[in-house]
Amino acid sequence: MAVVLNKEQIKEIIPHRDPFLLIDEVNELEVGKKVKATKHIKEDDFWFKGHFPEYPVTPGVLMVEMLAQAGAVALLSLPENKGKIGLFGGINNCKFRQQVVPGDTLELEVEIIKVRGPLGVGKGLATVNGKKAVSCEITFAIK
């Protein structure tokens, strides 16, 4: 997949920084409408030290955060949102379908389905090798 934005370019759009910048690259971007991004899950990712040392599995809430960061790239790429931040307004219909472990590549897709003023709603899907890992609906509040 082609890289449209690398980590440095992502940091020009969203305010997240290591260790909490949780997307590695953006592969497709339709500003304000749709984004596809990637997170390569590595053995040394910070959460594996405690979740769980003998059975490393990526926390579901962090996968939702990865989707939210990808969605924020789509919304904060709009000229009127430049320099702003996206906050969670809500998470609905969230389902975790498989464990994500070191060595996996998480493909993140978020389609913005509604925008009204400073609020937006995105439909998120994270997959590993084409299989659903997480799906949810995220409400964004732009500040």
pLDDT in tens, 22-42: 999 999 999 999 999 999 999
1 assigned to some structural domain = no
- Confidence tier at 2 by pLDDT (50, 70, 90): confident
Judged by DSSP in three states, 11 sits in helix
28 assigned to some structural domain = yes
Residue 87 has pLDDT above 80, yes or no: yes
For 74, counting Cβ atoms within 10 Å of its Cβ (0-12 exposed, 13-18 middle, 19+ buried), the class is buried
Beta bridge partners of 140: 88, 120
2 assigned to some structural domain = no
Tell me, what's the pLDDT at 85? Answer: 96
92 assigned to some structural domain = yes
78 assigned to some structural domain = yes
- Confidence tier at 52 by pLDDT (50, 70, 90): very high
Give dist(CA 13, CA 10) in Å, integer.
5
Q: Is the pTM of this model over 0.85?
A: yes
> Bigger pLDDT: 133 or 2?
133
Q: Which residues are catalytic?
A: 51
Domains in the chain, number: 1
49 assigned to some structural domain = yes
Name the residue range of residue 36's domain.
7-142
135 assigned to some structural domain = yes
Strand pairing class (119-128; 131-142): antiparallel
CATH code of the domain covering residue 15 = 3.10.129.10
Alpha helices in the chain (DSSP H): 7-11, 60-76
Tell the residue number behind the tokens 């090798």, with chain if given. Answer: 129
Tell me, what's the pLDDT at 142? Answer: 96
142: CB partners within 8 A, 6+ apart: 75, 76, 81, 84, 85, 86, 87, 118, 119, 120
User: How big is the chain, counted in residues?
Assistant: 143
